[in-house]
Amino acid sequence: MPFKLGVLGIDHGHIFGMLSNMQAQGCTCESYWTDGPAVTEEKFGQTFPELTKAADKRAILEDLDIAMVLISAVPADRAALAIEAMEAGKDVMVDKPGCTTLAQLDAIKECQARTGRIWSVNFSERFEVRATTKASALVAQGAIGRVIQVVTLAPHKQNLKTRPDWYFERERYGGILTDIGSHQVDQFLHFTGSTDVKIAAAHVENTTLPAHPGFQDYGEMTLHGDGGHGYLRLDWFTPDGLPTWGDGRLFLLGTEGTIECRKYTDIGQPHRTDNLYLVNGTENTHIDCRDVDLPYFPSLTADVQDRTETACAQAHTFLTMEVCIKAQMKAEEDV
C-alpha cells in the first residue's frame, strides 16, 4: 500500500526524479521544506503545484502520517536532516552524496542501527538509468562472465550561470569524488560485488576556475576490490555541442565479453538515450534500453512496507559513501 512522503531540501535537481518516481508508485506528498531560497524552487513549484511550503521542518518531521522523507538539501546538510528524520520514525531517501564526511557517516550508521529505519541514497546513475539496469540483468545472466573491471566516465557541463554558491564551496558540496564519485563507486561495487576495497590512487584538481579555489572540475580514482578493479573519472568539461548535460559511459570488462552503456546520448547519431553495446562469444549487438523498467523505486516502496532491503542493501550504501569519502581525502592529502 503506497504511503505519504515529505520533502526536506530541494537544493539539487535530483529531487525531481526522486519525488516523481515515488509518486509513480502511488505515494502522496503534500508539503516540502527548504532552508532558505533554492535555485530549483520556481521549477519545483511549477512541477509539483499540489505541494505547499512548510515554514518549519518540524511540520514534516512531526507528521505521523509521513512514512518516508526525501532529502535533496545542500550535501553537507543532508546527514543531519536524515538523522532528524530517522529519529522521528521516518525512512529516508537522500540525494547523492548521502553525506560528506566520515564523522557524518558514522553518526548515520549509529542512528540507522538504533532506529531500524531505512537510509537509502538515490544513486541515480544506476537507479534511474535504464541502460545500467539492463547491464545489471545481463551480468546476472552471465552474458559477459565474471566482471573483472569497471570503468566509468562521468563528464558534466558546468552551466555556471545556473549554479548556486554552494557548488563552488568544498565544505558544502563535499568534493568531486564524494559528490559525483559516489555514483561511480556505487556502480563499481554493484558490478564487481566487492566488499573490501583498496584505493590505489585518487586525484582532484581545479583546472579552470582559480577564482573559486574550492571548486574541483576534474577527479579520478583507481580501486582494487576483492571482486574486481575499477577506474572512475569525473569532470566538468562536457562541451556545449553535446545535446545533453553529460556523456556518461559505463564499461564492463568480463571474462567472457564486454558491455558499454552510453547512457545519455550517442555521439554522432540522432540524440537517443539508454544505449547498450554487448559483445561476447555469440553476440555483437546494440540494445535499445529505453523501455526497460526501473526496479529501485517499486522495490524501495516495498521495503518501506515490508521492512526489507530489496532495493539496495544498507551495507552497500554505507560502503559506497565510505569509499568515495576516503578517496576524496586521499586525493586532497596528495595535492
**DSSP assignment of 64-125, as one string?**
TTEEEEEEES-GGGHHHHHHHHHHTT-EEEEESSS-SSHHHHHHHHHHHHHH---EEEE-HH
The answer as to whether 185 is a domain residue is yes
Which cell goes with 76?
A: 553537507
The answer as to whether 301 is a domain residue is no
Q: Which neighbouring-strand residues pair with 220?
A: 203, 233
Question: By residue range, what is the domain housing residue 31?
Answer: 4-122
CA 240 to chain centre: 24
**Dist CA 57 CA 61 (whole Å):** 6
Which residue among 88, 104, 122 closes a domain? 122
Question: What CATH number does the domain containing 173 carry?
Answer: 3.30.360.10
Instruction: Please tell me whether residues 245 and 147 are part of one structural domain.
Output: yes
The answer as to whether 43 is a domain residue is yes
Instruction: Please tell me whether residues 60 and 185 are part of one structural domain.
Output: no
Question: What CATH number does the domain containing 64 carry?
Answer: 3.40.50.720
Per-residue confidence (pLDDT) for residue 2, from 0 to 100: 84
Instruction: Please tell me whether residues 201 and 234 are part of one structural domain.
Output: yes
**Dist CA 63 CA 48 (whole Å):** 20
Instruction: Please tell me whether residues 143 and 261 are part of one structural domain.
Output: yes
Structural domain count of the chain: 2
Instruction: Please tell me whether residues 182 and 258 are part of one structural domain.
Output: yes
Instruction: Please tell me whether residues 13 and 70 are part of one structural domain.
Output: yes
The answer as to whether 321 is a domain residue is no
**Dist CA 168 CA 110 (whole Å):** 30
Please tell me what DSSP assigns to residue 226: S
Instruction: Please tell me whether residues 12 and 116 are part of one structural domain.
Output: yes
Which cell goes with 268?
A: 554522432
Instruction: Please tell me whether residues 135 and 178 are part of one structural domain.
Output: yes
**Dist CA 238 CA 244 (whole Å):** 9
- Strands 249-254 and 197-205, how do they pair? unpaired
Per-residue confidence (pLDDT) for residue 162, from 0 to 100: 84
The answer as to whether 58 is a domain residue is yes
Which residue among 122, 146, 170 closes a domain? 122
Overall size of the chain counted in residues: 335
**Is the CB of residue 97 less than 8 Å from the CB of residue 124?**
no
The answer as to whether 320 is a domain residue is no
Torsion over CA: 157, 74, 129, 136 (sign): positive
The answer as to whether 81 is a domain residue is yes
Instruction: Please tell me whether residues 47 and 149 are part of one structural domain.
Output: no
Per-residue confidence (pLDDT) for residue 258, from 0 to 100: 98
In 3D space, the residue among 42, 110, 108, 46 whose CA is nearest the CA of residue 71 turns out to be: 108
Instruction: Please tell me whether residues 91 and 177 are part of one structural domain.
Output: no
**Is the CB of residue 82 less than 8 Å from the CB of residue 109?**
no
Note the pLDDT tens digit of each residue in 60-110. 999 999 999 999 999 999 999 999 999 999 999 999 999 999 999 999 999
**pTM for this model (two decimals):** 0.96
**Which positions of the chain have pLDDT values less than 70?**
334-335
Instruction: Please tell me whether residues 133 and 261 are part of one structural domain.
Output: yes
Which residue among 122, 156, 174 closes a domain? 122
The answer as to whether 308 is a domain residue is no
Instruction: Please tell me whether residues 73 and 149 are part of one structural domain.
Output: no
